[in-house]
Amino acid sequence: MLEIGTKAPNFKLQDKNGDFVSLSDFLGKKIVLYFYPRDNTPGCTRQACAFAGSYSAFKAQNVVVIGISKDSVASHLKFAEKYDLPFVLLADPELEAIKAFDVWQEKKLYGKVSMGVVRSTYIIDENGVIEKVMPKVKPDTNAAEILEYLAGK
């Protein structure tokens, strides 16, 4: 995982509509950047729906929410439409941002070791610097924990 105080690596990825989005597009705003393993899986769906349910609270604080997985643009579009997700979803099939933010890691499931996206969240300040690192977050509580953190700032 990247360290607090580190300049967040910039990237340019496609959103659910195929438009290119860069992290630098959001300079001047606080960003919640969350990485998740896969669209339409139980945990990832609960996490995305929790962000969607809290979206007005993030927006009220001028906070941009961005979700990234290695799924395709088409997969993101279906996922966003199915669950009415109002925030930015970025496709990273080449693992550009996923590797830059060090969330592509060894995972163990039922004794089997494989590489995959570790569910993690970064809070990036208005100047593009990492303010908070949240490794191995829980899908059901991630959005609420971030709102609590932002309220305490």
Placement of tokens 């969607």 in the chain:
52
HEC letters along the chain? CCCCCCECCCCEEEECCCCEEEHHHHCCCEEEEEECCCCCCHHHHHHHHHHHHCHHHHHHCCEEEEEEECCCHHHHHHHHHHHCCCCEEEECCCCHHHHHCCCEEEEEECCEEEEEECCEEEEECCCCEEEEEECCCCCCCHHHHHHHHHHHC
Name the catalytic one among 8, 33, 44, 118: 44
Pairing status of strand 104-109 against strand 112-117: antiparallel
Q: Is 49 a catalytic residue?
A: no
Residues with a known catalytic role? 44
